[in-house]
Structure 1
Amino acid sequence: MRRRVGLALLCSAAIAGPAHAGPAESLSFWDLKPGQLRILVASPQVMVTRTASGWEAYCRCPVVLKPNEIPEAMKKAIIAVEDRRFMEHGGVDLVALAAVLRGGLSRGGSTIPMQLLKNLVFHDLQGRDLFSKLERKGSEVWHAGTFDGAVGKQELLAAYLNQIEFGGREIVGLYRASRYYFHKEPRDLNLFECALLAGMVQAPARFNPVKETTKERAYERARLVLGLMVQQGKISQAERLRAERVGVRPGLLPEFRIQAQPFTEWIVQTLAPRFVQEGETIRFFVTLEPRFQRLAEKQLSDMVGEGTIPAEYEAGAVMMSGDGRVRAMIGSVDWSRRQFNAAVKTSVQPGSTAKLPLIVAACEAGLSPQSRVVDRPITATWPANGHLGYKGETTLLEAMASSRNAAAVRLTQDLGVRRVAAVSRRLGIEPGPDPDAGFVLGSFSTNVLSMTAAYATVANGGYRVAPTGVLAVVDGRGQVRASFLDPIRTRVIPQNCVAPTRSILREVVRSGTGRSAGLGRWAAYGKTGTSTGNADAWFVGWSEGRVLGVWMGRRRDAVGEGLAGKGAPAEYFRRVSSSANEMVEYRIAQQRGKAGSRTAGGPDRQKAANPQKAPEHRPVHASLAPRLDGPEAIRLNAAPRPPLRPFREAVPWLRDEDEDLSPW
Structure 2
Amino acid sequence: MAQNKKKPAAKAKQTNYRPYIKGFWILFLSGLGAIILVFLLASWGVFGKLPTFEELENPESNLATEILSSDGKTLGKFYNENRTPVKYEDLAQNLVDAVVATEDRRFYEHSGIDMRGTARAVAFLGSKGGASTITQQLAKLLFSDTPSSKFERVLQKVKEWIIATRLESQYTKEEIITMYLNKQDFLFQAVGIRSASKIYFDKEPRDLRPEESAIIAGMLKNPRQYNPYREISKDKSLERRNTVLALMAETGKITEAERDSLIAMPMEIKFSPEGHADGIATYFREYLRAFMSDWIKENPKGVDADGNEEYYNIYRDGLVITTTLDSRMQRYAEEAVTAHMENLQREFDRQNERNTTAPFRDITTEEEEVIINRAMRNSDRWRKMAAQDIAVEDIKASFDKETDMRVFVWKDGAKEVDTVMTPRDSILYYKRFLRAGLLSLTPQTGEVKAWVGGINYKHFQYDHVKTGRRQVGSTFKPFLYATAIDQLHLSPCDTVPDIPYCIPAGDMGAQEDWCPENSSEGFKGMITLKSALANSINTVSARLMHRVGPQPVINLIDKLGVDTENIPAVPSIALGTPDLSLFEMVSAYSAFANKGVHVEPQIVSTIVDKNGTVLYQSVPKAKDIISQESAYVTVNLMEGVTQYGSGARLRSGAINNYVYNNVVTGHPYMFKNPIAGKTGTTQNQSDGWFMGMVPNLVSGVWVGGDDRSVHFPSITYGQGATMALPIWAVFMKKCYEDEALNISQEDFERPEDLSIRVDCSQPVEGERQEVELPDELDF
Task: Check if 1:526 corresponds to 2:677.
Answer: yes
Task: Check if 1:47 corresponds to 2:83.
Answer: no
Q: What is the alpha-carbon distance in structure 1 between the residues aligned to residue 538 and residue 346 of structure 2? A: 32
- Match for 1:357 among 479, 484, 487? 479
- Partner amino acid for 1:453? S
Q: What is the alpha-carbon distance in structure 2 between the residues aligned to residue 279 and residue 394 of structure 1? A: 60
Counterpart of 2:727 in structure 1 is: 572
Counterpart of 2:227 in structure 1 is: 208
CA-to-aligned-CA distance 1:393-441 (integer Å, 9 cap, x gap):
3333222222222223323443454433322222223444552343232
Q: What is the alpha-carbon distance in structure 2 between the residues aligned to residue 303 and residue 555 of structure 1? A: 20
Q: What is the alpha-carbon distance in structure 2 between the residues aligned to residue 504 and residue 200 of structure 1? A: 64
- Match for 1:168 among 184, 188, 207? 188
- Match for 2:689 among 538, 557, 562? 538
RMSD: 5.7
- How many residue pairs get aligned? The number is 509
Counterpart of 1:422 in structure 2 is: 555
- Match for 1:281 among 311, 315, 318? 315
Counterpart of 2:437 in structure 1 is: 317
Counterpart of 1:120 in structure 2 is: none
Task: Check if 1:442 corresponds to 2:478.
Answer: no
Q: What is the alpha-carbon distance in structure 2 between the residues aligned to residue 127 and residue 374 of structure 1? A: 82
Shift of 1:353: 0.9
1:468-547 mapped onto 2 (5 Å cutoff): 468-471=602-605, 483=616, 485-517=618-650, 519-521=669-671, 523=673, 524-542=675-693, 545=697, 547=699
Task: Check if 1:266 corresponds to 2:287.
Answer: yes
Q: What is the alpha-carbon distance in structure 2 between the residues aligned to residue 232 and residue 40 of structure 1? A: 39
Q: What is the alpha-carbon distance in structure 2 between the residues aligned to residue 454 and residue 437 of structure 1? A: 20
Shift of 1:350: 0.5
- Partner amino acid for 2:228? P
Counterpart of 1:302 in structure 2 is: 342
Distance 1:236 1:294, change over 3 A: farther
Q: What is the alpha-carbon distance in structure 2 between the residues aligned to residue 193 and residue 500 of structure 1? A: 61
Secondary structure of 1:307's counterpart equals: helix
CA-to-aligned-CA distance 1:480-535 (integer Å, 9 cap, x gap):
7x635444343435444454443333332232112345542464442111123332
Distance 1:526 1:191, change over 3 A: same
- Match for 2:746 among 643, 646, 661? 646
Distance 1:570 1:476, change over 3 A: same
Secondary structure of 1:281's counterpart equals: coil
Counterpart of 1:340 in structure 2 is: 462
Unaligned runs of 5+ in 2: 1-38, 85-89, 116-131, 146-158, 298-310, 352-358, 360-431, 504-513, 652-668, 750-779
Distance 1:337 1:175, change over 3 A: closer
Secondary structure of 2:462's counterpart equals: coil
Shift of 1:317: 0.5
Distance 1:530 1:294, change over 3 A: closer
Q: What is the alpha-carbon distance in structure 1 between the residues aligned to residue 679 and residue 82 of structure 2? A: 33
CA-to-aligned-CA distance 1:287-344 (integer Å, 9 cap, x gap):
4646246415522542344325876463230333314454554444565555433333
Counterpart of 2:655 in structure 1 is: none
Shift of 1:218: 4.9
Distance 1:200 1:575, change over 3 A: farther
Distance 1:327 1:280, change over 3 A: closer
Distance 1:502 1:353, change over 3 A: same
Q: What is the alpha-carbon distance in structure 2 between the residues aligned to residue 126 and residue 648 of structure 1? A: 59
Q: RCO (CA 8 Å, sep 6+): is it higher in 1 or 2?
A: 1
Distance 1:226 1:301, change over 3 A: farther
Kept in 2, the 8 Å contact 1:308–1:568? The answer is: no
User: TM-score, normalised to structure 1's length?
Assistant: 0.59
CA-to-aligned-CA distance 1:164-213 (integer Å, 9 cap, x gap):
9975248957565347xxxxx99xx9956544565478675454224443
**Structure with bigger gyration radius:** 2
- Match for 2:264 among 245, 250, 253? 245
Kept in 1, the 8 Å contact 2:75–2:279? The answer is: no
Distance 1:40 1:331, change over 3 A: closer
Kept in 1, the 8 Å contact 2:595–2:627? The answer is: no
Distance 1:273 1:410, change over 3 A: same
- Partner amino acid for 2:707? R
User: TM-score, normalised to structure 2's length?
Assistant: 0.51
Kept in 1, the 8 Å contact 2:437–2:582? The answer is: yes
Task: Check if 1:464 corresponds to 2:598.
Answer: yes
Q: What is the alpha-carbon distance in structure 1 between the residues aligned to residue 108 and residue 213 of structure 2? A: 25
Q: What is the alpha-carbon distance in structure 1 between the residues aligned to residue 638 and residue 44 of structure 2? A: 70
Counterpart of 1:411 in structure 2 is: 544
- The alignment-based identity, stated in percent, is 19
- Partner amino acid for 2:339? Q
- Greater displacement, 484-493 / 75-84: 75-84
Kept in 2, the 8 Å contact 1:352–1:403? The answer is: yes
Unaligned runs of 5+ in 1: 21-28, 30-35, 50-57, 62-72, 85-94, 116-124, 146-155, 180-184, 590-643, 650-664
Secondary structure of 2:720's counterpart equals: coil
Distance 1:444 1:39, change over 3 A: closer
Secondary structure of 1:386's counterpart equals: coil
Kept in 1, the 8 Å contact 2:591–2:631? The answer is: no
Q: What is the alpha-carbon distance in structure 2 between the residues aligned to residue 369 and residue 232 of structure 1? A: 78
Q: What is the alpha-carbon distance in structure 2 between the residues aligned to residue 511 and residue 191 of structure 1? A: 55
Q: What is the alpha-carbon distance in structure 1 between the residues aligned to residue 729 and residue 601 of structure 2? A: 22
CA-to-aligned-CA distance 1:440-459 (integer Å, 9 cap, x gap):
32121112222122233444
Kept in 1, the 8 Å contact 2:438–2:700? The answer is: yes
- Partner amino acid for 1:531? T
- Match for 1:386 among 511, 519, 525? 519
Q: What is the alpha-carbon distance in structure 2 between the residues aligned to residue 370 and residue 82 of structure 1? A: 74
Kept in 2, the 8 Å contact 1:344–1:447? The answer is: yes
Q: What is the alpha-carbon distance in structure 2 between the residues aligned to residue 502 and residue 459 of structure 1? A: 7
